[in-house]
Amino acid sequence: MSPFPEPIVYIISAPSGSGKSTLVNELLKQTSDLDFSISYTTRAPRGAEQNGKQYFFVSREQFEQMIRADEFLEHADVFGNYYGTARRFLQEAQSKGHDLLLDIDVQGAAQIKPKLAHAVSIFVLPPDRRTLEKRLLKRGEDDPRVIQRRLDGASQEIKNYSKYDYILINDDLEESIKSLQAIVRSERLRKSPPQLSDEEKEIMARAERCRLANVKDRVQRILDSFRT
């Protein structure tokens, strides 16, 4: 039995190319007591990716063995490859008194939400379809057919935005980093005594501006850009 309370679990999802990895890396650098759950995948490493850093790269047979052993909180088949979040990361975070960040897609988030009802979910969006396409092209990792498939997938993924607590529109990287930090800190402040400093009140206000109810008009314009 852990002496620490249940950790805050943050779920972050985004279409490929939305800048989520950069945001997550900056958040982890600047936030204490926050563990990151490294996903397992059957896809091959890309570029300079290293096993155990970006992902745990395993064979399809190993992954399916882990499914049978019920080792995953969630798993999904995405574009023909498995991705999954191991249960052990939640247990390890709680044993240290840390919170936990899960970087998972909309399929995985849908599986985790019923299991972790108090998880805080964040959906990162590009400002529009054209910007997302430019970012995917700039990465230079995929051929045009794969990029088109990712754009088509993004148009389907963003329809799930209403299932998330916070929407982070990544049109300015520095501002988006500050907003993501504010979301994490504000959720921690909710568990603290009610007396907040002026700085903490501003953090809470910044996070509140990213609440689903406060960005619906902007999200609708993004959705519209994927239809044209």
**Per-residue pLDDT reduced to its tens digit, 204-217:** 999 999 999 999 88
- Per-residue pLDDT at 105: 86
Residue 138 lies in a domain: yes
Task: State residue 1's pLDDT score.
Answer: 54
Question: What's the pLDDT tens digit per position in 32-77?
Answer: 999 999 999 999 998 888 898 889 999 999 999 999 999 999 998 8
Judge whether 108 lies within some domain: yes
Say if 16 falls within a structural domain: yes
Domain that holds residue 130: 9-37+98-225
The proportion of the chain whose per-residue pLDDT surpasses 70, expressed as a percent, equals 96
Give a yes or no: residue 93 inside a domain. Answer: no
Residue 201 domain flag:
yes
Q: How many residues does the chain have?
A: 228
- Categorize the per-residue pLDDT at 149 as very low, low, confident or very high, splitting at 50, 70 and 90: confident
State how far the Cα of 3 lies from the Cα of 44, in Å rounded to an integer.
39
Rounded CA separation 72/12 (Å): 17
- Whether 195 has a pLDDT exceeding 90, the answer reads no
Average pLDDT along the chain: 90
* 5 pLDDT more than 90: no
CATH number of the domain that 218 lies in? Answer: 3.40.50.300
CA dist 208 and 45 (Å) reads 37
Residue 72 lies in a domain: no
Helices (H), the chain: 20-30, 60-68, 88-96, 106-115, 129-139, 144-157, 173-189, 198-209, 212-225
Residue 106: Cβ within 10 Å count? 24
- Domains: count for the chain: 1
pTM of the predicted model as reported, rounded to 2 decimal places: 0.89
- Tell me how far apart the alpha carbons of residues 8 and 187 are, in angstroms, rounded to a whole number: 8
Question: DSSP secondary structure string, 56-96?
Answer: EE--HHHHHHHHHTT-EEEEEEETTEEEEEETHHHHHHHHH
Structure tokens given for 174: 């520095």
Half-sphere exposure of 115 (CA within 13 A, CB side): 13
